[in-house]
């Protein structure tokens, strides 16, 4: 049940058709893991927190650096040197004291990923492909949805994976070209908000998900386009 202050806090979104108090209660009971507290993670976490997702788990093994601050808006100068998960948890609890945030300072690997992810919905806010593949592996094995986003400069992408029904990340990716990735903060902010929107819609059961669709954001020409994906019958992960 939602208490009086929760009803007041979420009043405007409860007005959205298909949302209602029961939808807000679904959010309160929901469990979402956000892997990565960088540029994407900052936007995703901010909006999942203020929307009232009841249990949020965040995982990141890095510490805040000065070069993060052009895009990772959950951190600021005074956080430099702190664990990113601690910095993020502190901000999120200020943004919404009525949710539970669990911070895990670890780098995910083959040995810990299944235990850490548990039965949480998975949001992919990582900055490297091997880690994304680990999340995808757990999502496919446990049949948990995976909300994917990636950025490069002014360009971003997003798609939603529902294992057993849609293409997975392994159907899509055969590697990325190595090197330092250029990025401006507005790009992960936009893509992160799209990922957060997907999570909310999934939990609420409203709207149309980005399943088997890749949304491509081109910030330079300010255009969104979309292409269709399909499962790879020879996929090493989900076939």
Partner 1 sequence: MMNVTIKISSLFRKFTDGQEFVKVTGNNTVECLHELEARFPKIKRWLYDKQGNLRPQIWFFVNGQKISADDLTKPLNDGDELFFVLAISGG
- Coil/strand/helix, residue 34: strand
- Tell the smallest beta-carbon distance from residue 226 to partner 1 (Å): 7
Q: Does 41 bind partner 1 (CB under 8 A)?
A: yes
Q: Does 84 bind partner 1 (CB under 8 A)?
A: no
Reported as half-sphere exposure (CB side, CA atoms, 13 A), residue 147 has a value of 29
Residue that has been written with the tokens 């997975």 in this structure: 168
- Tell the smallest beta-carbon distance from residue 161 to partner 1 (Å): 14
Q: Where would I find the H helices in the chain?
A: 4-9, 11-14, 20-29, 39-51, 84-95, 113-117, 129-142, 169-172, 186-204
Q: Does 106 bind partner 1 (CB under 8 A)?
A: no
β-sheet bridge partners, residue 132 = none
CA distance 41 to 125: 5
Phi, psi of 54 (to 5 degrees): -70, -40
Which residue's CB is nearer to partner 1, number 2 or number 168?
Answer: 168
CA distance 114 to 131: 13
Q: Does 226 bind partner 1 (CB under 8 A)?
A: yes
β-sheet bridge partners, residue 227 = 214
Quick one: which segment of 19-27, 61-69, 97-105, 226-234 binds partner 1 (CB under 8 A)? 226-234
- Tell the smallest beta-carbon distance from residue 43 to partner 1 (Å): 11
Binding partner 1 by CB under 8 A: which of 121, 151, 189, 196? 151
Which 178-217 positions form the footprint of partner 1 (CB under 8 A)? 181, 183, 188, 214, 216
Binding partner 1 by CB under 8 A: which of 157, 160, 166, 203? 157
Footprint of partner 1 on this chain (CB under 8 A)?
36, 38-41, 125-129, 132, 149-155, 157, 172-177, 181, 183, 188, 214, 216, 218-221, 226-230, 232
């Amino acid at each position: 049940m939602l208490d009086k202050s929760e009803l007041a806090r979420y009043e405007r979104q409860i007005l959205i058709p298909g949302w209602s108090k029961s939808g807000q209660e679904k959010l309160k009971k929901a469990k979402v893991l956000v892997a990565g507290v960088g540029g994407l993670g900052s936007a995703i976490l901010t909006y999942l927190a203020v929307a009232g997702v009841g249990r949020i788990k965040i995982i990141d093994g890095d510490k805040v650096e000065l070069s993060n601050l052009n895009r990772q808006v959950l951190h600021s100068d005074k956080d430099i040197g702190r664990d990113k998960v601690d910095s993020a948890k502190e901000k999120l609890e200020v943004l919404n004291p009525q949710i539970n945030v669990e911070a895990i300072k670890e780098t995910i690997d083959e040995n810990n990923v299944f235990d850490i992810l548990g039965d949480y919905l998975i949001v992919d806010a990582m900055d490297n492909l091997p880690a994304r593949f680990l999340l995808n592996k757990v999502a496919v094995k446990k049949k948990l949805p995976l909300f994917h986003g990636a950025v490069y400069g002014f360009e971003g992408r997003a798609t939603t994976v529902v294992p057993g029904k849609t293409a997975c990340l392994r159907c899509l990716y055969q590697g990325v070209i190595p090197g330092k990735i250029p990025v401006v903060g507005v790009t992960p902010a936009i893509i992160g908000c799209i990922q957060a929107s997907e999570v909310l819609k999934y939990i609420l059961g409203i709207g149309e998900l980005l399943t088997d669709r890749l949304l491509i954001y081109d910030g330079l020409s300010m255009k969104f386009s979309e292409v269709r994906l399909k499962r790879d019958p020879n996929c090493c992960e989900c076939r």
